[in-house]
């Protein structure tokens, strides 16, 4: 008996699973940053301590939106739900706001150096890829 369903690409499952795992790491980082102990804070450089202590509450909320949104969208991607796409977009926008403000509004590049921009660029690229991939997956009919 012939099936009318086309084969679903293995790469989709790999990307979706890696996205969930990646965003679980992001949630771990968010929780760690929100619950940093005074002892752990003391191990940071003076410049890092200054950035951490002057991090406004609204920026911490944006960080939460970026990480929780990224994990939620990744789970929805794994479940093949098209609602993942706008949630990935919200997460990406939050990542851009978070790091844009940190790097330029809080002068992290001036304080720490240009190396402060490397990880944010990687995170923006990954966030952009996941948004684009979910958008493309929806267009291909892989997400409903």
SS3 content of the chain, % helix, strand, coil (to 5): 80, 0, 20
- Residue 131 pLDDT exceeds 60: yes
Neighbours of 56 (CB within 10 A): 11
Share of the chain above pLDDT 90, in %: 68
Residue 110 above 90 pLDDT? no
Q: Which two tokens stand for residue 90?
A: 């919200």
Find the mean pLDDT for residues 100-113.
83
Residue 32: pLDDT over 70: yes
> 58 or 115: which carries more pLDDT confidence?
58
Q: What DSSP state is assigned to residue 94? A: H
Q: Where do the structural domains in the chain lie, given as residue ranges?
A: 45-139
Give yes or no for a contact between 51 and 108, defined as CB atoms under 8 angstroms apart: yes
Name the pLDDT band for 25 (thresholds 50, 70, 90): very high
Number of other residues whose CB lies within 10 A of the CB of residue 77: 28
């Amino acid at each position: 008996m012939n099936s009318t369903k086309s084969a679903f690409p293995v790469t989709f499952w790999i990307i979706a699973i890696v996205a969930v795992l990646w965003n679980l790491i992001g949630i771990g980082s968010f929780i760690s940053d929100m619950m940093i102990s005074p002892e752990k804070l003391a191990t940071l450089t003076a410049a890092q301590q200054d950035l951490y202590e002057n991090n406004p509450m609204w920026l911490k909320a944006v960080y939460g939106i970026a990480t929780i949104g990224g994990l939620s969208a990744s789970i929805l991607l794994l479940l093949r739900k098209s609602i993942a796409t706008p949630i990935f977009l919200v997460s990406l926008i939050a990542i851009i706001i978070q790091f844009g403000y940190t790097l330029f509004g809080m002068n992290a590049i001036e304080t720490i150096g240009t190396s402060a921009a490397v990880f944010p660029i990687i995170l923006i690229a990954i966030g952009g890829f996941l948004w684009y991939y979910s958008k493309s997956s929806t267009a291909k009919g892989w997400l409903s």
